[in-house]
């Protein structure tokens, strides 16, 4: 089937998600609600979302996910430089829509909001504004000022305000408890396969092509230098990766190097991202591209001369093509 028509059919069957940036006029039928940052929308999160949908079907309700923007740590400390996110807001929206969530509330996380006690949060927002019928939370969920509210507190309020509450155990793969933290660690070590397994989809970076030093062009391996769209988006560890590159809706195979460039400070941790797109010779400066990570080929190396580098790049390309043909 033609890829264009495949995309159209998929979009047709998606239930379009309603997005709210304030909740004064929020309305949903028997709202089945969950709360959290949901960074990565990984398989552990999907377990919660699937249960959300099951309950909504049982009670003839609608699914509601309540999240925050900006990230609480960034809101409380605008100079925060260490936070690394698995998904940008835009990526999170796409993944939640794919997961079949009907209502997404992106609530402004302000200093005033952070001061709400868990009791005020339940009374004012969950009950007063959303009119929650059922609340589904993860096994380690905390909420309210200083994260003082836990499951037992929620249970007491659920009884008081007559809504149902359910806690979901952590999702285990083997003996591993899936979490955003574990996925970040996998990415930082370059273990793309593990990160992708826990995410349930392939990790991506979105960014713009910017001017580089054009060293690659001089040795027969021209690269596009990428400046990512969000400075807080995590970038995988140093090394060479097999990737797919989406340029204006067309997908190409490629290999990508992540290194360091101290004077190039638009990416997290001053990392440089250079991608060699196979069988591609168009000028794409200032265009947006999407990089889809499949597997790391090797660690970053230094070479004594151009000939050694060229020889290694030829091996890398062969390895990348072998990997991509299998995936």
| 165 three-class SS | strand
Beta-carbon contacts of residue 152 (< 8 Å; ≥ 6 apart):
none
| Interatomic CA distance for residues 170 and 178, integer angstroms | 7
Q: Which tens digits make up the pLDDT trace of 114-137?
A: 888 888 999 999 999 999 999 999
Predicted local distance difference test score (pLDDT) of residue 149: 67
User: pLDDT tens digit string along 69-93?
Assistant: 998 888 778 777 789 999 999 999 9
- Cβ count near 99 (within 10 Å): 20
For residue 4, pLDDT beyond 90: no
What are 166's two structure tokens? 């359910």
* Range name among 23-27, 93-97, 112-116, 119-123 with the lowest pLDDT average: 112-116
Q: Are 99 and 49 in contact (CB under 8 A)?
A: yes
Helices (H), the chain: 3-13, 43-58, 72-76, 89-98, 111-114, 118-120, 151-161, 180-188, 192-199, 215-218, 306-326
Angstrom distance (rounded) from CA 73 to CA 51: 28
pTM score, two decimals? Answer: 0.89
Q: Of the candidates 224, 206, 205, 204, which has an alpha carbon nearest to the alpha carbon of residue 214? A: 224
Looking at residues 302-316, what average pLDDT do you find? Answer: 91
pLDDT band for position 15 (50/70/90)? Answer: low
Domains annotated for the chain, with CATH where assigned, are 12-173 (3.40.50.620), 202-326 (2.40.30.30)
Q: How far apart are CA 65 and CA 190, in angstroms?
A: 31
């Amino acid at each position: 089937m033609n890829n264009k028509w495949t995309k159209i059919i998929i979009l047709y069957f998606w239930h379009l998600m309603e997005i709210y940036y304030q909740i004064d006029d929020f309305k949903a039928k028997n709202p089945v609600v969950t709360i959290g940052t949901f960074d990565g929308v990984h398989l552990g999160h999907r377990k919660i979302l699937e249960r959300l949908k099951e309950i909504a079907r049982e009670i003839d309700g609608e699914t509601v996910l309540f999240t925050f923007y900006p990230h609480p740590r960034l809101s409380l400390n605008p100079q925060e430089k260490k936070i690394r996110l698995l998904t940008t807001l835009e990526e999170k929206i796409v993944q939640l829509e794919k997961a079949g969530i009907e209502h997404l509330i992106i609530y402004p996380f302000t200093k005033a909001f952070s001061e709400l006690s868990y009791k005020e949060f339940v009374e004012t927002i969950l009950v007063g504004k959303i009119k929650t019928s059922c609340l589904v939370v993860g096994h380690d969920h905390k909420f309210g000022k200083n994260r003082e509210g836990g499951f037992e507190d929620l249970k007491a309020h659920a009884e008081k305000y007559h809504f149902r509450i359910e806690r979901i155990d952590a999702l285990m793969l083997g003996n591993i408890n899936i979490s955003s933290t574990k996925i970040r660690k996998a990415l930082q070590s370059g273990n793309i396969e593990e990160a992708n397994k826990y995410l349930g989809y392939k990790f991506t970076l979105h960014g713009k092509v910017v001017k580089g030093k054009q060293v690659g062009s001089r040795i027969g391996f021209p690269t596009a230098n990428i400046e990512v769209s969000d400075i807080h988006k995590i970038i995988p560890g140093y090394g060479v990766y097999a990737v797919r590159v989406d340029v204006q809706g067309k997908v190409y195979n490629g290999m990508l190097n992540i290194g360091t460039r101290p004077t190039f400070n638009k990416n997290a941790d001053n990392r440089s991202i250079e991608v060699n797109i196979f069988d591609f010779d168009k000028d794409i400066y200032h265009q947006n591209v999407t990089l889809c990570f499949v597997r790391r080929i090797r660690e970053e190396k230094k070479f004594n001369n151009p000939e050694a580098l060229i020889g290694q790049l030829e091996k890398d390309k062969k390895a990348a093509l072998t990997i991509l043909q299998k995936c």
